[in-house]
Amino acid sequence: MAAAASSLLHNPTGAFSAAIVTLFVSSEGVTSERRFDKGMSVLSLKERLEPITGVPCSSMRITLYSASDAPICSLDDDTKMVGFYPVQDFMRIHVVDTNPHRVKGAYTDVSQVKKFEISDEEYSKRSDSVRAFKQRMKLGRFADGSSEASASTTDGDDFSAAAAKIKVGDRCEVTVDDEGGLAKRGEVKFVGLTKFKPGYWIGIEYDEPLGKHDGSVDGQRYFDARPRHGAFARPNKVRAGDYPEEDLMDEIMFGPNADYGTRKPPGTKVFSPEELAKYNGADAAQPVYLALKGVVYDVSSARNMYAPGSGYSAFAGKDASRALGMSSLKAEDCVADYSTLNAEQMETLDKWVAFYQKKYDVVGTVKL
């Protein structure tokens, strides 16, 4: 093979087709994709590979494989440049530790690692565990403080008891843990078992397009709802009662706007994002502002809806264009860049803009 390798490796011109090559690196328990400079020496390559593979340079052997995984040659001359060898994009270099005294799997075999183990009973007694923290803070399956109502189906609770207290047609409010504990209002449209997950579920049509579907999941229709108004929630997350509609979005999405009277002349102040953030409703002495498409609106007249802890607090003190276009209450979506919105979401955003223009005073613009 040495003679064949010599003819393959010889490069009489000393020129390389490209300065950078992308190679797959493999070793015992390690695979990765890396980019290397063909102008580096094999010794420098080994130094680069040592922290990747855990194999010391002094005992490292590198073999080059083709894209079809056929062996080509060994990179056995530390003084040669990598480009001296016939390396091409998406070939593989395999690294072997030639040290005869090495311990196989010393860094990759986790079975050799001594582990701390504790029984579930002992873990439950600890006060410094994640489980204890969630119980104290009433998070996740401990959200309502009742282990029977909040436990998951893996604990044997199918939520039938909680579901029995809710009926189709009830007005309700739903607490959404993964959206900062915000509450959404709507009407119960379905109570029962589903095919997508075990246990009892409540199907809700939200008053606003803050849902995920129209009552159909995985091709199975459970109830009828307007697009993006339908959602499912566990019964322990649903509170049935006197929860009237809040008219913030229905005015613009599904009914004629009310006449809000004559607006003040538009303001001309230019806000920086940092300055706009000060008007998030936290300071009762300051107005509450939010921006859409760079235009800042004074929403102080609806402070109860935008102040910290309220349903729409995520929008306050920032340009929330993308979030409103997506009908999202998530803080990470409350950004000014709406270039990723699709046509339907852009239409939603434009309706929001029309609503704010009609209802709230313009105080200026935000400079992004």
pLDDT tens track for 145-177: 333 333 344 444 678 889 999 999 999 999 765
Q: Which amino acid is at 187?
A: E
Q: Which of 71-85, 260-274, 306-320 has the lowest mean pLDDT?
A: 260-274
- From residue 210, alpha-carbon distances to 27, 204, 217, 313 in Å are 49, 11, 16, 15
CB 256 within 8 A of CB 236: no
CB 332 within 8 A of CB 268: no
pLDDT (tens digit, 9 = 90+) per residue, 119-153? Answer: 888 888 888 888 888 777 767 666 643 333 333 44
CB 149 within 8 A of CB 200: no
* pTM to 2 decimal places: 0.35
User: In angstroms, rounded to a whole number, what is the distance separating the alpha carbons of residues 71 and 93?
Assistant: 9
Question: To which residue do tokens 């276009």 refer?
Answer: 325
Choose between 94 and 28: higher pLDDT: 94
Mean pLDDT of 337-364: 88
In the chain, % of residues over pLDDT 90? 40
Question: What ranges in the chain are assigned the alpha helix state H?
Answer: 2-9, 42-53, 120-125, 130-137, 147-150, 160-163, 250-253, 273-276, 303-306, 321-326, 343-359
Q: Does the pLDDT of residue 4 top 60, yes or no? A: no
